[in-house]
Amino acid sequence: MTYRDVILALVSGLFGAIGAQLLSIWHGRKLENERAALTQQLEKERQHLARLLETERQAFEIHRIKLDVLRKIAGSRAAVSDKPLGEHRSRFFEGLNEVMVVFSGSKDVSSALIAYKAALNTTNANDRLIDLFKAVCRDVGIDPTSFNDSLFLQPFAPGTI
- Residue 38 included in any domain: yes
pLDDT by residue (tens digit) across 56-105? 999 999 999 999 999 999 888 877 776 667 677 889 899 999 999 999 99
Is the pLDDT score of 5 beyond 90? no
- Residue 90 included in any domain: yes
- Residue 159 included in any domain: no
- Residue 84 included in any domain: yes
Q: What is the DSSP letter of 1?
A: -
Lowest mean pLDDT among 24-28, 39-43, 82-86, 103-107: 82-86
Lowest mean pLDDT among 6-20, 43-57, 63-77, 94-108: 6-20
Lowest mean pLDDT among 40-44, 63-67, 122-126: 122-126
What CA–CA distance (Å, rounded) separates 77 from 150?
Answer: 12
For residue 132, give the nearest of 86, 64, 83, 69 by alpha carbon: 69
What's the whole-model pTM score?
A: 0.71
Is the pLDDT score of 22 beyond 70? yes
- Residue 161 included in any domain: no
Is the pLDDT score of 161 beyond 60? no
Number of domains in the chain: 1
For residue 55, the enclosing domain spans 3-153
